[in-house]
């Protein structure tokens, strides 16, 4: 059978690469990889680590691209690839524009779709935007649904999506288990230069579309106040390549001694830095899964989350996007030892690191069933 995996952004690549390596182990599967190139540098950084060569790269990225330009370019270009390759199934991941548009293009060719990381929901169609709508629509299109947790499967059931739904864990744990190593030496030269001795490292990332503008300004101002008040913290912020993010970060945090605005890290540097951080501040989805797995508290710079599992376990806290509240919650972690230790325990509701194997098994069984 021919399985075509399609992805285009950093987080999709981080979570799809272990699955592709697993597909490659099966001689009965022809694995074809198509990149949309929705991201460029941040995507190729991941491909290099996993040493995976793509057969196609639609190369659609443009500076400051809009949702519409991404959509039009992917729909048109991916259709050509589908017509040429005629895969038995197309695998998409999560909730990006790439994932939704690739699923839609496959549907137009009447090709089956498998959705990896299915069933995450906030039930607020504008938050995260446009991801909540993307993943709901992929859920409608997909023939196979790989839900990381039982909670995600329940969400699908509420939408009457009940056939071919499997709880597999999240492939991010497959990746995470191979990247974090004892005695790891950072590759990034900026990271190598930071002196962490006697300092607490706070790792931050922020990039979401709904946080661009005033919310990101609020987040950066809260961080500025923290650094001015606490002399024993070093904030490391690998800044997303979106110019709208970079400009705000540089304007507010650019000239501060203990704030390190560095280039996006490769996933090995990132995971190892995360595992040594005091806490994480982020609006990223992936970091909310990874940091709890290594017992690092997370303050979520959003008003909601589609990942309630670690919030329920107490390792993740949703703190919103207002300066005062972010500052207040960070201060609690910096000054109140009991509160810190209550949050700093390892929580991993996202699987045992064997999710890719389960997904491939379900794909093979499905194919056997439909080929009868």
Q: Is 240 an annotated catalytic residue?
A: yes
Identified catalytic residue from 10, 121, 240, 302: 240
205 binds ligand UDP (CB under 6 A): yes
- Helix (H/G/I), strand (E/B), else coil: 290: helix
Q: Is 283 an annotated catalytic residue?
A: no
Alpha-carbon torsion (100, 101, 107, 111), positive or negative:
negative
Identified catalytic residue from 135, 145, 207, 271: 207
Q: How far is the CB of 327 from ligand UDP (least distance, A)?
A: 22
Q: Which of residues 280-309 bind ligand UDP (CB under 6 A)?
A: 284-287, 290
Measured between alpha carbons, how far is 116 from 94 in angstroms, rounded to an integer? 6
Q: Which is nearer to ligand UD1, 74 or 236 (CB)?
A: 74
Residues of this chain that bind ligand UD1 (CB under 6 A): 9-11, 38-43, 61-65, 70, 96-97, 130-131, 207, 209, 241-243
Binding mask 262-281 for ligand UDP (x = CB under 6 A): --xx-x--xx----------
Q: How far is the CB of 172 from ligand UDP (least distance, A)?
A: 6
**What one-character-per-residue DSSP string does 308-361 give?**
-HHHHTTSEEE--S-HHHHHHHHHHHHH-HHHHHHH-S---TT-SS-HHHHHHH
Beta bridge partners of 91: 5, 114
Of 354, 366, 349, nearest to 21 by C-alpha is 354
Q: Which stretch binds ligand UDP (CB under 6 A): 8-16, 107-115, 191-199, 310-318?
A: 8-16
Q: Is-contact 238 263, C-beta < 8 A?
A: yes
Measured between alpha carbons, how far is 60 from 218 in angstroms, rounded to an integer? 32
Identified catalytic residue from 12, 22, 117, 269: 117
Task: Point out which residues bind ligand UDP (CB under 6 A).
Answer: 10-11, 14, 205, 207, 238, 264-265, 267, 270-271, 284-287, 290
């Amino acid at each position: 059978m021919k399985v075509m995996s399609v992805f285009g952004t950093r987080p999709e690549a981080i979570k799809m690469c272990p699955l592709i390596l697993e597909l490659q182990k099966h001689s009965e599967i022809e694995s074809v990889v198509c990149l949309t190139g929705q991201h460029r540098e941040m995507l190729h950084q991941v491909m290099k680590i996993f040493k995976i060569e793509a057969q196609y790269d639609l190369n659609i990225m443009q500076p400051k691209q809009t949702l519409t330009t991404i959509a039009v370019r992917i729909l048109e270009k991916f259709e050509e690839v589908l017509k040429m390759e005629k895969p038995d199934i197309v695998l998409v991941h999560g909730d990006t524009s790439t994932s939704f548009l690739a699923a839609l293009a496959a549907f137009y060719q009447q090709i089956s779709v498998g959705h990896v990381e299915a069933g995450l929901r906030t039930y607020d169609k504008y938050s995260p935007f446009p991801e909540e709508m993307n993943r709901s629509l992929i859920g409608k299109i997909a023939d196979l649904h790989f839900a990381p947790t039982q909670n995600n499967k329940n969400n699908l059931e509420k939408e009457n999506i009940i056939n071919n739904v499997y709880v597999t864990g999240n492939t991010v744990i497959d990746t995470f288990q191979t990247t974090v190593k004892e005695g790891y030496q950072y590759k990034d030269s900026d990271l190598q230069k930071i002196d962490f001795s006697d300092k607490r490292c706070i790792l931050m990332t922020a990039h979401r579309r709904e946080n661009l503008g005033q919310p990101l300004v609020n987040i950066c101002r809260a961080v500025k106040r923290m650094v001015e008040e606490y002399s024993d913290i070093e904030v490391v912020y690998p800044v997303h390549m979106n110019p709208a993010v970079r400009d705000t970060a540089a304007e507010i945090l650019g000239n501060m001694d203990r704030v390190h605005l560095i280039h996006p890290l490769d996933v090995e540097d990132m995971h190892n830095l995360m595992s040594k951080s005091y806490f994480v501040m982020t609006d990223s989805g992936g970091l909310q899964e990874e940091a709890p797995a290594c017992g690092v508290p997370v303050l979520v710079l959003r008003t909601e989350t589609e990942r309630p599992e670690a919030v329920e376990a107490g390792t993740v806290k949703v703190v919103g996007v207002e300066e005062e509240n972010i500052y207040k919650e960070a201060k609690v972690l910096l000054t109140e030892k009991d509160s810190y230790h209550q949050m700093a325990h390892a929580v991993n509701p996202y699987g045992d690191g064997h999710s890719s194997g389960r997904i491939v098994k379900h794909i093979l069984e499905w194919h056997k069933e439909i080929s009868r």
